[in-house]
Amino acid sequence: MTEQSNLAAARACYGAYVSKDRAAIEALIAEDFHFTSPRDNRIDRQTYFERCWPGGQDIEAFDFIHLAPAGDRVFVTYEARMRGGRRFRNTEVLRLRDGHIVEVEVYFGWSLPHAAPDGGFIDGQA
């Protein structure tokens, strides 16, 4: 697959969360899929759908900050907008094979607006 088709698959994955189209995302995620985040260590496809899909029901939109293909990977930084106005920023690395997402690594960002003042920090947190 080309980097452009990988970008299209990545966009479609996030679009499925916005449209609440489980069939669309199931078609994009490979049977041997694994997901890793600060809270999940290489969980499989079934566990991903049990744990992660329900949490996406409040997502209204993804605003892509960075969307960069690199061979079989797509690096994505986004700002998610939730019902009720909450926003947050994450970075994810998607690995694709033959148009299917086989692995996702999530690096949690921060809530928006940022809790620390511009040029500052929050005491007691590393």
Report domain extents, the chain: 3-112
Pick one of 2.60.120.560, 2.120.10.30, 3.30.2230.10, 3.10.450.50 as the CATH number of 3-112: 3.10.450.50
Alpha carbon distance 113, 6 (integer Å): 31
One DSSP character per residue, 45-99 reads: HHHHHHHTTGGGGGEEEEEEEEEEEETTEEEEEEEEEEGGG-EEEEEEEEEEETT
Tens of pLDDT, residue by residue over 25-80, are 999 999 999 999 999 999 999 999 999 999 999 999 999 999 999 999 999 999 99
Tens of pLDDT, residue by residue over 70-88, are 999 999 999 999 999 999 9
Q: List all residues 6 or more positions away from 91 whose beta carbon is below 8 Å from its beta carbon.
A: 66, 75, 76, 77, 106, 107, 109
